[in-house]
Structure 1
Amino acid sequence: MFKHLNKDFPASIVVFFVAIPLCLGIALASGAPLFSGLIAGIIGGIVVGGISGSSLGVSGPAAGLAAIVLAAISSLGYENLLLAVVIGGVIQIGFGLLKAGIIGYYFPNSVIKGMLTGIGIIIILKQIPHFFGYDSDPQGDWAFFQVDGENTFSEIFNMVNNISPGATIIAVIGMTILVLWEAVLSKKGKFFKLVQGPLVAVVVGIVFYLLTKDSETLSISADHLVNVPVPDSFDSFVGQFTLPSLEMIGTLEIWITGFTIALVASLETLLCVEATDKLDPHKRTTPTNRELFAQGTGNVMSGLIGGLPITQVIVRSSANIQSGGQTKMSAIMHGFLLLISIVIIPNILNYIPLSVLAAILFLVGYKLAKPSLFAQMYQAGWKQFVPFMVTITGIVFGDLLIGISLGLVVGICVILIKSYQNSHFLHIENLDNGGKTIKMKLAEEVTFINKGAILKELNKLEDNSYLIMDVTNTKYLDSDIIDILDDFKIKAEEKNIDIKIVSERGTVENPESYRQFFELEKKPA
């Protein structure tokens, strides 16, 4: 864990700068106190990062849970929501102990790649208004339809008449620094590798704000800056932590909310784990059951001290990877940086322009949604491209879970279509007597899904045909298929169709009962 501090520490700084506005924005979008988002970020970094087996995953408050949290706060109150978060954490620990982490491996690669690309596009679209100093939409609001009645694209149109010159100028300067640092300066020496471009861009942004705060045209107003809560004293700092209420622990609504949080948080985490492992240059595999246990422990602790629910988050994780992070020390250190910053330097953090942070996220989004990936998926064929595009569309115009669900449904449909098509191979031979010999070779596994395709081919057989059905390679034949053959026996007799079955035991002509024959096949030779 300590071998790569020279790479992990600079990466943790980048993740720290990405995490601050997201923690605050997600709390705002959830209708929760701003400090609750920071608590979740700290716990996600230090506690979850310490327990997790993920080398590069970074956890914190998730936008995908914002709608659930907002509804729960409205109906239950904030203290009762915290109790539901604790319950959700306990349930997640149970998921880990029951080894439910394997669920994440049942999502197709095309859907995972679509998820990464869709999130990249969302990051870019959501950061465009912030880049130009139009910050009416919270940083953590990733949904297409927003609570204020606007949507992702209408916010961009509204931005045109609300551009802040100062915020835009420093965003462009920050973007220039980031691009030059990565493309040119990082190859010039060790200093430029140790000191990351995002840190330089943020420092330049703070200096720009301080130098122009009295300017009429270039000054950046307070609503375009990071807004970390600043306590007046130690007592006011401690007062920002909230304990959960235990009064409703026996009510069904609390347990339903807790289970919903556990289920959604676990699913998002497993999907992000799969995506993060694919982005990992070393292709390390995260133990998913341990990850669920870590996330559950983090949610229990977060709920106990007033924090939002936690998941592994792909935005922070991808920023960690792209910044050169090597081990989970980068995630842990980003949590300590969040803790230290809100205790020691909250005033300095509040000098950071949001437009500079938007420039940093721009590059994160671009690396997730490179145009070359679309060409790559298109060349892979429609079976990969269609679920990929459906997932992206669902994420951009809905949210993460909608996109993933739609992509998974399309992926399952593709499997059903290919299974229908590949249930058998058909070979037709002409005989001297003018009849036809049809050879039908069944696949290794034939299930009810293949029933329609096989029945279609059987019904196409002409009178006086000779059917050879080869089941030599078939290891599993569904009962539904045997029923079809038994039913077809009557039609075959009427159409004078002879049937020969070729199997491992040899061949048999026109068996009295196909079910009895295949039952016999199951017995040892």
Structure 2
Amino acid sequence: MFKNLNKDIPASVVVFFVALPLCLGIALASGAPLFSGLIAGIVGGIVVGSISGSQLGVSGPAAGLAVIVLGAIASLGFENFLVAVVIGGVLQLLLGVLKAGVIGYYFPSSVIKGMLAGIGIIIFLKQIPHAFGYDKDYEGDLAFSQADGENTFSELINMLDYVSPGAILVTVISLIILLLWEKVLSKKHKIFTIIPGPLVAVAAGVIYQITMVGSGNLAISPEHLVQVPVPESAADFFGQFTFPNFGAITNPQIWIAGATIAIVASLETLLCVEATDKLDPQKRITPTNRELFAQGTGNIVSGLIGGLPITQVIVRSSANIQSGGQSKFSAIFHGFLILLSVITIPFLLNKIPLAVLAAILLIVGYKLAKPALFKQMFSLGKSQFIPFIVTIVGIVFTDLLIGIGLGLAVGIIVILLNSYKNSHFLHKEGYDVNDGKFKMTLAEEVTFLNKGAISRELHSLPENAYLELDVTKTKNLDHDIVEILDEFSVRAKEKNITIKIISERGTIENPSSYKEFFEKEKKQIA
């Protein structure tokens, strides 16, 4: 965990600046004290990050739970609601023990990539008003319909009546710094890779705010700045912690709220884990049952000290990956940064313009939804592209879970249509542990429904193993399975595993690209 501090520490700084306004914004949208969002961010970084097996995932309060939390607090009261958060954490521990993490394997790759692109588009669209100085929608909102009756697109029109020249200027300066840092300066000298560009952009924004106070239209008004609660004393600081009222634990509404939090938080976490693993350059696999255990522990701790529910969050996780994070140290350290900053420098944090953070998130959103991704998915054919697009449209015009559900439904329909002619299953034979030789035979039709089993078998292979993968009978190999093989090839080299593919075209050992190999195989079969 400490081998890549030169990359993890700069990444953690970027995640810290992204997470800080999101924690506050989600607390505001949830009808909870602002400090409860910061508690969830701290616990998500330190507690969940320490226990989790995810190397790049970052946890904290999630926008997807804001509506649920708002309703629960309104009906139960905040102290009683905290009991529901603790109960939700306990239920997540139980889900981890029952190995419910396998659910994440049953979401096709096209839907996960659609989720990433959809969230990227939403992040980009939601940040445009903040970049122009219109902050009516809370930071971190990912839903199409907003609590104030507006939506993602109507806010783009409304912002034109509230344009702040100062916010626009800060956004432009920040974007220039970020792009110049990434595209030019980082390639010129090592110092520019050690100091993160977003930190420089934030520093420039703070300097701008301090120097432009009282400068008319060019000044940024307080409502367009980060607003961290500022305690006047140590007693005031500790007075911000709230503790659950366990005397109300017999209230059935609390148990219903707890179960709802556990289910939604677990589902969002497992989806984020799948997406984060897709983005990981090293193609590491997160143990999903351990992740549920980590999230459950985090929610118990958060609920006990007055924090919001926690999930793994794709916005922070993708910012971590794009900033060069290498291990879980980045997530853990960002939690400590939140804790230390709200104790020691809340006044300075409150000088940060939201426009700077909007600029950072504009780049994060663009990278998640690059045009090249759409081109790649289109080239894979209708069975991949249609669920991908449906997921994006669903997320942009509804919310995360509905969009995922629509994409999954379409993906299942496509699979059922493709499976109408052939059965789909995974057949294994010829295992010989003593001499390290293994044989796996794939059936005529292998779909994403089989990817959990195939992934488990591949990752259970010992070091120096020799695997014969027989695909002579396979007529349709889903893109998800090819991706698993490509991703596993990275780990196979580290474990000195030889993979010999037996196909109608002949045999080949350790192909450089499984995607290219099976594309040629597909043409041969046709």
Equivalent residue, structure 2, for 1:238: 238
Equivalent residue, structure 1, for 2:369: 369
Structure 2 Cα separation of the partners of residues 419 and 13 of structure 1: 48
Aligned counterparts, 1:92-491, within 5 A: 92-422=92-422
Whether the aligned pair in 1 keeps the contact of 2:59 and 2:310 (CA below 8 Å) is yes
Q: CA deviation at 1:444?
A: 6.5
TM-score, scaled to structure 2: 0.80
5+ residue gaps, structure 1, are 425-442, 446-472, 474-525
- Which residue identity is paired with 2:107? F
Give secondary structure in 1 for the equivalent of 2:218: coil
Cα-to-partner distance string for 1:173-215 (whole Å, 9 max, x where unaligned): 0000000100000011111000010000000000001111110
- Which residue identity is paired with 2:111? V
Equivalent residue, structure 1, for 2:19: 19
- Which residue identity is paired with 1:152? T
Equivalent residue, structure 2, for 1:85: 85
- Which residue identity is paired with 2:14? V
TM-score, scaled to structure 1: 0.80
Equivalent residue, structure 2, for 1:6: 6
Structure 2 Cα separation of the partners of residues 24 and 127 of structure 1: 16
Cα-to-partner distance string for 1:122-163 (whole Å, 9 max, x where unaligned): 000000000011111110222111111111111110011111
Structure 1 Cα separation of the partners of residues 185 and 201 of structure 2: 14
Cα-to-partner distance string for 1:469-523 (whole Å, 9 max, x where unaligned): xxxx9xxxxxxxxxxxxxxxxxxxxxxxxxxxxxxxxxxxxxxxxxxxxxxxxxx
Give secondary structure in 2 for the equivalent of 1:147: coil
Whether the aligned pair in 1 keeps the contact of 2:391 and 2:403 (CA below 8 Å) is yes
- Which residue identity is paired with 2:309? P
Structure 2 Cα separation of the partners of residues 336 and 28 of structure 1: 22
Q: CA deviation at 1:108?
A: 0.1
Structure 2 Cα separation of the partners of residues 71 and 388 of structure 1: 32
Structure 1 Cα separation of the partners of residues 421 and 25 of structure 2: 49
Equivalent residue, structure 2, for 1:428: none
Give secondary structure in 1 for the equivalent of 2:311: strand
Cα-to-partner distance string for 1:322-360 (whole Å, 9 max, x where unaligned): 000000000000000000000000000000000000000
Give secondary structure in 2 for the equivalent of 1:116: helix
Q: CA deviation at 1:319?
A: 0.3
Q: RMSD of aligned C-alpha atoms?
A: 1.5
- Which residue identity is paired with 2:177? I
**Sequence identity (%):** 72
Whether the aligned pair in 1 keeps the contact of 2:395 and 2:403 (CA below 8 Å) is yes
134-143 or 62-71, larger mean C-alpha shift: 134-143
Give secondary structure in 1 for the equivalent of 2:80: helix
Q: CA deviation at 1:422?
A: 4.0
Whether the aligned pair in 2 keeps the contact of 1:27 and 1:140 (CA below 8 Å) is no
Give secondary structure in 1 for the equivalent of 2:404: helix
- Which residue identity is paired with 2:77? G
Cα-to-partner distance string for 1:5-33 (whole Å, 9 max, x where unaligned): 01000000000000001000111111111
Give secondary structure in 2 for the equivalent of 1:160: helix
Structure 2 Cα separation of the partners of residues 194 and 24 of structure 1: 28
Structure 2 Cα separation of the partners of residues 8 and 140 of structure 1: 23
Structure 1 Cα separation of the partners of residues 230 and 306 of structure 2: 17
Q: CA deviation at 1:421?
A: 4.1
Structure 1 Cα separation of the partners of residues 23 and 85 of structure 2: 17
- Which residue identity is paired with 1:360? I
- Which residue identity is paired with 2:63? A
Q: How many residues align?
A: 430
Cα-to-partner distance string for 1:429-455 (whole Å, 9 max, x where unaligned): xxxxxxxxxxxxxx969xxxxxxxxxx
Give secondary structure in 2 for the equivalent of 1:217: helix
Structure 2 Cα separation of the partners of residues 217 and 313 of structure 1: 36
Q: CA deviation at 1:217?
A: 1.9
Whether the aligned pair in 1 keeps the contact of 2:422 and 2:444 (CA below 8 Å) is no
Structure 2 Cα separation of the partners of residues 142 and 56 of structure 1: 21
Q: CA deviation at 1:106?
A: 0.6
Structure 2 Cα separation of the partners of residues 264 and 200 of structure 1: 37
Structure 2 Cα separation of the partners of residues 27 and 193 of structure 1: 33
Cα-to-partner distance string for 1:390-419 (whole Å, 9 max, x where unaligned): 111111111110011111111111111112
Whether the aligned pair in 2 keeps the contact of 1:29 and 1:140 (CA below 8 Å) is no
Structure 2 Cα separation of the partners of residues 165 and 118 of structure 1: 30
Structure 1 Cα separation of the partners of residues 356 and 421 of structure 2: 53
Whether the aligned pair in 2 keeps the contact of 1:24 and 1:140 (CA below 8 Å) is no
Give secondary structure in 2 for the equivalent of 1:420: coil
Give secondary structure in 2 for the equivalent of 1:309: coil
Give secondary structure in 2 for the equivalent of 1:247: helix
Whether the aligned pair in 2 keeps the contact of 1:35 and 1:240 (CA below 8 Å) is yes
- Which residue identity is paired with 2:363? L
